Structure 1
Amino acid sequence: MYRKTLFLLTILVSLPSFAQSVKIPPYLKKGDTIGILATARKVDMAPLQAGIKLMESWGLHVVIGKTIGLDNDQLAGADWQRATDLQQMMDNPAIKAIWCAKGGYGTVRLIERLDFTKFKKKPKWFVGFSDATVLHSHINNLDIATLHGMVAITVGRATPEAIESFRKALFGEKLSYSLPAHKFNKPGKVTGELVGGNLSVLYSIIGSPSEADYKGKIIFIEDLDEYLYHIDRMMMNLKRNDYFKNVKGIIIGGMTKMRDNDIPWGHDALEIIQDITKEYDIPICFNFPAGHIQDNRALVFGSQVTMDVTATGTKITFD
């Protein structure tokens, strides 16, 4: 009996370790409730109307958070007010998804005030992009999927394609994207867990408890309104922290409204990224339609995706 037990233990120890499976929150259905709140910059009700009407047209009930309309300089209330609003929605079993009203800056200021105990037991969809990357990363680190997509104030100017991808993601319909070729793309086909978000935010949380593990995964990045040398600095930081050495693939979203100094940097954002990532033997897709653009397509972080980059184009399929 001892020899048999020892033999079994030896087999188990020699088996390769597999990552813990990611929890996919229940997809929404008609009659469910979605909560809208502000985790960062202040916002009132007026710019939310298009988003509210869209949710209601899909058969969802909408709950408005207490942070909507609060004014604390740039922020939607004090840190404790924004954290309390989010905590209450996280713990409320009637709310099936939490949707950020707006981005900006400030979500990182409330993250350490949150208790994810109930959320981990009964996860629900967290939805947003840009500054919401802090919560995407923190929640993905708990092995729970999140939805990178429009914030509520952007619905009125979003493309029909972005809106439809958002609906499919919320309701659990199949997502796939076919994209034209880009001169900087690197060919290859891989399958892996999708993670990432806003480059500036990912850069800012390196070394913190909210930094996710990117090893063996596919990373998505996008950004807005940064100096070009900032893009170079942040990309170099991710490189030196072995982000690109350890990932299976890279997806580059919108690099929007970049700025330059009086003495030009000499390369645009995509050229900077291409130069820093070209040494890696992994598929890389440029100009994916997601980020600070009207055509902000939905991405399910934490889900398994297959990216197939060829000379004629790229296909990204969510498994």
Structure 2
Amino acid sequence: MTGVQIKRVSLIAPSTCLPRSEKSRVTQTIRYLTSILGQVEIDVCPYLFSSDELIDHVTAPLDDRAQSFKEAIRDSDLIISVAGGTGAEDIVFKIDKKDYRILRERKPLLIGFSDFTFLLNEIYYNSHIPAVYFPTLRLGRGNLKKIEDLFFDRPIQYHGTAWLTEPPKRRLTGIPLGGNLSTFVNFLNRKEPPAFNWKKYILFFEDIQIDVEDLHRLLAALRRHKVFKEIKGLVIGSLASYNKNGNYRAVQKENLRFVRNYLSDIIEKRKERKNPLPILSVSNFGHNVPRDMMAVPIGGQVVIDRHKNVT
């Protein structure tokens, strides 16, 4: 995806540790990766299953996690954050100009999920190299071919669920940004926010266990940053904790209805300006999604047509 041949892979743990019961899943993921990439060197960070003595919801002290990240971007071609949780954004404080120069020169491919949203978007913004929003430990036979195609710059396609607005008259082409909504808002909320030209971008977002009031605050923040004024489109995944037997569908439906209602004035204004804001919902993007989990190439390219195909 970045044009770099993958010879060495690093599994890093900048956030919350994995439970030891996930060891078999890590082994399986390594097996899947080698089936895609062939004989590659795999480096496994020592902090995957550890907890910091002072802050037990992160894997190690900040300096150790940052050092692990800095070594990975210098030595590896594919860097995978194995778990989300909390803590990845701490590392941003430790990334310096030299690190960003190395990222631009080496162009390693980074993959992460959930709170790693912050780093994926930060690195794309500062180094202009694409990254992938995907929970790699969810890699399985159902999505193996698509991830392989993504690694080797072959097009992959997913299918959306429903348009919350009128579908676009022509194909929508743009650069994906986003990931976890709460984390992406944190990424923007700073004294000097990143200065994106939103006209180029399509915002993908998902979240977990947020209610309508949480969603209201998050959308208000995006509105404050003028994201909706010019962004090419929105792709909205799961906004609740997925489960088969609970009230997931009802909560998801309520959240999607709120998004449409909250943005109704912007939707109408942009329609009048002949610059519509298309909003597509998808069912295979988010936490705990059981099948065909969507991989989003942050900083890459995506094409969406009126038939809900996402390529």
Same-fold status (TM-score > 0.5)? yes
Consecutive unaligned residues of structure 2, counting only runs of 5 or more, are 243-250, 268-275
Match of 1:65 in 2: 45
Structure 1 residue 63, shift from structure 2 partner: 1.3
Match of 2:130 in 1: 145
Separation (CA, whole Å) in 2 of partners of 1:211 and 1:78: 27
Give the counterpart of 1:50 among 28, 36, 50: 28
Letter in 1 for 2:132: L
Say if 1:246 and 1:42 are closer, same or farther in 2 by CA, change over 3 A. same
Please identify, of 202-211 and 141-150, the stretch whose mean Cα deviation from structure 2 is larger. 202-211
SS of corresponding position for 2:14: coil
Where in structure 2 are the equivalents of 1:29-178 lying within 5 Å? 32-43=7-18, 44=20, 46=23, 47-58=25-36, 59=38, 60-72=40-52, 73-92=56-75, 95-114=76-95, 115-142=99-126, 143-152=128-137, 154-155=138-139, 160-178=141-159
Give the counterpart of 2:290 among 256, 280, 294: 294
Separation (CA, whole Å) in 2 of partners of 1:243 and 1:129: 22
Indicate the RMSD between aligned Cα atoms, in angstroms.
2.4
Separation (CA, whole Å) in 1 of partners of 2:112 and 2:166: 28
Structure 1 residue 130, shift from structure 2 partner: 1.0
Structure 1 residue 256, shift from structure 2 partner: 2.4
Structure with the bigger percentage of helix: 2
Separation (CA, whole Å) in 2 of partners of 1:128 and 1:266: 24
TM-score, normalisation: structure 2? 0.81
SS of corresponding position for 1:205: helix
Match of 1:275 in 2: 261
Contact 1:55 1:61 in 2 (8 A): no
Structure with the bigger percentage of strand: 1
Contact 1:162 1:298 in 2 (8 A): no
Say if 1:214 and 1:276 are closer, same or farther in 2 by CA, change over 3 A. farther
Say if 1:277 and 1:214 are closer, same or farther in 2 by CA, change over 3 A. farther
SS of corresponding position for 1:139: helix
Say if 1:80 and 1:210 are closer, same or farther in 2 by CA, change over 3 A. farther
Separation (CA, whole Å) in 1 of partners of 2:66 and 2:207: 25
Separation (CA, whole Å) in 2 of partners of 1:302 and 1:203: 17
Matched positions, count: 277
Separation (CA, whole Å) in 2 of partners of 1:212 and 1:316: 26
Separation (CA, whole Å) in 2 of partners of 1:106 and 1:85: 14
Runs of 4+ in 1 over 6 A off after TM superposition: none
Consecutive unaligned residues of structure 1, counting only runs of 5 or more, are 1-23, 259-264
Structure 1 residue 64, shift from structure 2 partner: 0.5
Match of 1:202 in 2: 184
Contact 1:36 1:99 in 2 (8 A): yes
Contact 1:166 1:297 in 2 (8 A): no
Say if 1:210 and 1:161 are closer, same or farther in 2 by CA, change over 3 A. farther
Contact 1:141 1:210 in 2 (8 A): no
Give the counterpart of 2:219 among 235, 256, 260: 235
Say if 1:185 and 1:87 are closer, same or farther in 2 by CA, change over 3 A. same
Separation (CA, whole Å) in 1 of partners of 2:15 and 2:102: 23
SS of corresponding position for 2:31: helix
Separation (CA, whole Å) in 1 of partners of 2:165 and 2:27: 39
Match of 1:11 in 2: none
Separation (CA, whole Å) in 1 of partners of 2:195 and 2:309: 25
Structure 1 residue 210, shift from structure 2 partner: 7.2
Structure 1 residue 61, shift from structure 2 partner: 3.3
Separation (CA, whole Å) in 1 of partners of 2:303 and 2:252: 34
TM-score, normalisation: structure 1? 0.79
Separation (CA, whole Å) in 1 of partners of 2:179 and 2:101: 24
Contact 1:148 1:197 in 2 (8 A): yes
